[in-house]
Amino acid sequence: SAPAQSESEEPAVESLVIDKSFDLVTADPARMFETTGGIVLHAVYDSLLTFADGNAEEPLPSVASEWSVNDDATEYTFTIRDGITFSDGTPLTAADVVFSLNRVKNVQGNGSFLMSGLSVEAPDDTTVVITSEEPNTAVPAIVTSPTLGIVNSALVKENGGTDAEGAADSDTAEEFLNETSAGSGPYTIESFDTTTETVLVANPEYWGDAPVYDRVVLRNATAEAQLMDVQSGTAHVALDLGSDQIAGLGSDVIVSTSQSPTIFFVFLNADSGVSEITSNPDFREAVKYGLDFDGILELAGEGAERAYGIVPSSYLGALGPDGAVERDVDRATEAAGRVGGDLSVDLEYASDFSSNGLSMQPFAERIASQLAEVGITVNLKPGPIATTLESYRAGTEQMGLWLWNPDYPDSADYLAFGPGEVVGLRAGWAAGADPELEAVMAEVATETDAATRETLYQEFQQLHNEAGVIIPLFQPAASVVSASAIGEVKFDPVFSLDIAAIGR
């Protein structure tokens, strides 16, 4: 646990102002599944387990003081910590946990899939048992999610909440939760607004170490505005600055850069119904060898790293540089020639969206420029995220440039990139398209041994890279810029930002 913080330490500012480009939708944990929401709700609601100090591998106790798992990873038992109360003083019990988790499952929100295949029970007031239909080693990582934050069941029920089946229609607590918080975390919500700013104040009832800043303001600002804000001192912390922007900052700020688990990738639709060209393996080869990954990485700025496989570098089974594809213009040109005809394809991407201070556009431009050198014409097709997301999800894009943020910090999340899975399907990669790969996926899903899993994940990625339908490009650096008075603020690989940890 965190080192004890001396009570006398004076916070540098009265209200800590954090600039973030909002993707805030709701403050109801059961319905929340966005980055900004995660930052806010991680500070307001405690989950069974948590991660801390930038470590994304080892879940730590939180509401659960300890936990155990059976051998085939199907049953997890959590012991509820004694003496936790919600911000209104009500004690937190196992019933609250069951209510919270079931509610997530039944309101059918964006994060409900976390609970798919899981069921929860409370044999007694201090014990919670989560059972999985299939062996599932990701459960401890999953239960750290702020979506699975523990709410005050009595209070939520009072205000229209329910965890029963059909909660999608009958649960009406969202409005209440958007105004008042019903959690046990270090902060409570003072005001919540999805478009301008959201203000948190310290929870006096918090069971753990009190946070340094009593009041935290999270403001919605574009990266451009954030840059101006941190320079002019309007904001103390800025979360979405890219390396290009950081490069020009003055000396009165501290930049903390670390690895982000986000993966930028392009895919070449494998469905010949969508494109005869991109579904051609020769074309995939041409693209794979036609791309200059270092040239692309350059645009991502300092601190970014090439993604050698789809699993991010800090996760179990991530690939290293061995056997990485290097640019080979001749080979690419030759492969392109084998495809023949007019090699003109559309590359779609979202133009009004950026992550880690990076927008898609320069990458799209560079990809187009590089592939032009091997005889492939790439027409850029940007669009607002709302429209492009639709064609992406419908699997109708010939080529797409997208990114993936982990839903929970476990390599299992990346199986989504396999044939027949969520992302695979978007790339026109139907189930059965690559039996060898799919066999590895099936195996790793139920494997409980960490070492075996590691090799299986590596194998999965090697096969994945060979197939070449989805080409991982890079992992950007995640930078947090803070005013020197505040001290360094670290990026959190799981929650993006752990507000309560600032200043510690």
Binding site for another protein (CB under 8 A): 15, 17, 25-26, 33-34, 108-113, 168, 174, 178, 194-197, 199, 215, 217, 219-225, 227-229, 231-235, 242, 244-245, 248, 298-299, 351-352, 359, 361-362, 364-366, 368-369, 380-387, 389-391, 393, 407, 422, 425
**Cβ neighbours for 350, distance < 8 A, ≥ 6 positions apart:** 360, 382, 383, 384, 385, 388, 389, 402
Q: Which residue has the tokens 């941190």?
A: 230
Other beta carbons less than 10 A from residue 389's beta carbon: 15
**Which regions of 331-483 does DSSP assign to beta strands (E)?**
344-350, 354-355, 358-359, 377-383, 399-404, 470-475, 477-483
For residues 74 and 198, give the distance between their C-alpha atoms in angstroms, rounded to a whole number: 39
As measured in angstroms, the least distance from the Cβ of 143 to another protein is 17
The residue among 220 and 280 lying less far from another protein, judged by its C-beta, is 220
Least Å distance, CB 25 to another protein, is 6
- Closest to another protein by CB, 235 vs 255, is 235
For the chain, the residue count is 504
Pick between residue 338 and residue 393 the one whose CB is nearest to another protein. 393
Task: Give the residues across from 219 on adjacent strands.
Answer: 19, 197
C-beta neighbour count of 169 within 10 angstroms: 10
Question: Which residue type, as a one-letter code, is found at position 459?
Answer: E
Q: How far is the CB of 433 from another protein (least distance, A)?
A: 17
Instruction: Compare residues 127 and 234 and give the one whose CB is closer to another protein.
Output: 234
Residue number with CB closer to another protein (64 or 425): 425
Reference 223, options 236, 239, 234; nearest CA is: 239
Helix (H) or strand (E) holding 155: helix 153-158
- In the complex, minimum distance from the CB of residue 384 to another protein, in angstroms, rounded to a whole number: 4
**292 vs 285: CA distance, rounded Å:** 13
Q: Which among 334, 333, 363 has a CA at the least distance from the CA of 348?
A: 363
Do 120 and 97 touch, CB atoms closer than 8 A?
A: yes
Alpha carbons 416 and 424: distance in angstroms, whole number? 7
Answer yes or no: are the C-beta atoms of 216 and 15 closer than 8 Å. Answer: yes
Closest CB 365 distance from another protein, rounded Å: 5
Of residues 2 and 386, the one with the C-beta less far from another protein: 386
| C-alpha neighbours within 13 Å on the C-beta side of residue 362 | 14
Least separation in angstroms between CB 48 and another protein: 20
- Could you tell me the smallest distance in angstroms from the CB atom of residue 362 to another protein? 5
Residue whose CB is less far from another protein, 269 or 280: 269
Q: State the Cα–Cα distance between residues 231 and 333, nearest whole angstrom.
A: 47
CB of 243 to another protein, least distance (A): 10
Burial 41-54 (b: 16+ CB within 10 A, else e): bbbbbbbbbbbbeb
Nearer to another protein, 235 or 486 (CB): 235
Per-residue tokens: 460? 């999965």
- At its nearest, how many Å lie between another protein and the CB of residue 92? 27
CB of 418 to another protein, least distance (A): 14
Nearer to another protein, 425 or 469 (CB): 425
- Which of 272, 369 has the CB closer to another protein? 369
